[in-house]
Each structure stands twice: as C-alpha cells, then as structure tokens.
Amino acid sequence: MKSKLAVGALIAAIAVPVFAQSSPVNQVGQDNAQIRRDNRDIRADQKDIRKDERQLNTDRRDRNADQRAEDKDIKKGDYKDARKEEMAREHEQHEMNHERHDIAKDRADLHHDRMERNQEIHKRNHEAGRIK
C-alpha cells in the first residue's frame, strides 16, 4: 500500500510541472507578439535614423553656407570676419562628425536588432513546425 502511495506521489510530482508549462501553441502566440514588438521597435529606429540623416544634411548645408561666406570675406580682404566664419564652420563640422558617428552606431544597433529578430523568427518557425 505504501509503495502504491509513493509511486502515485512520484507520478504526481512529475506530472504537475509538465501540465504547468504553457502549450506549444500558446508559446508560438507569445513569440509572435514579441516579434511584432520587435518589428515595431525596428521601424521606430529606422524612422529615428532617417530623421538624424535629414538633420545632418541640414547641418551640411549650414556648413557649406559658412564656407561660402568665409570665401567671400577672404575675396573682399576681410580676414577678421573670415576667421569668425572659419571658426563657426569648424565647430559645425565637429558637431557633424559626432552626429555621423552616432548614426553609424544606430545603424549597427539596428542591424543587430534585425539579426536577433530573424533568429527569433527562425526559432519560432522551427518550433511551430514541430507542433502536432
């Protein structure tokens, strides 16, 4: 009698965690939700990168305008104003270099996020194919 009780308790101890786990169908649903969130984040990151690139182009136009003003001042012989324009242009170029570096980092992060998402999709598809 005690052995039957012990075997029953052992089976119950093993069966409870098995039944407590989520079903494969629910897991695929959760994976799908996570992938949709990842896709949304990737689209938002792409939008931010495009916005930063537009800002960088605006800064380039400003820098080029400073260069033209500097060239005009040099042509007139106004070296004091030319020096001021050069300082402004150098400062603008320094900021642009930082922005370009940040955009490159953002692109690398976006690439990494896409790779992770693609791996998650592959894993989800593999596991979903095993559901019977």
Give yes or no for residue 29 having a pLDDT over 90: no
Q: 71-89 pLDDT, tens per residue?
A: 999 999 999 989 998 998 9
In a domain, 3, yes or no: no
Q: Rounded to an integer, what distance in angstroms lies between the CA atom of residue 47 and that of residue 44?
A: 5
Tell whether 104 is covered by a domain: yes
pLDDT top residue among 109 and 27: 109
Residue with structure tokens 């960088």? 56
pLDDT of amino acid 50 = 97
Q: Say how many domains are in the chain.
A: 1
| pLDDT of amino acid 3 | 59
Range of the domain at 32: 24-129
Q: What angle do CA 110, 99, 73 make, to 5 degrees?
A: 155
Highest mean pLDDT among 10-14, 41-45, 85-89, 127-131: 41-45
d(CA 2, CA 8): 10
Please report whether residue 109 resides in a domain. yes
Give a yes or no: residue 2 inside a domain. Answer: no
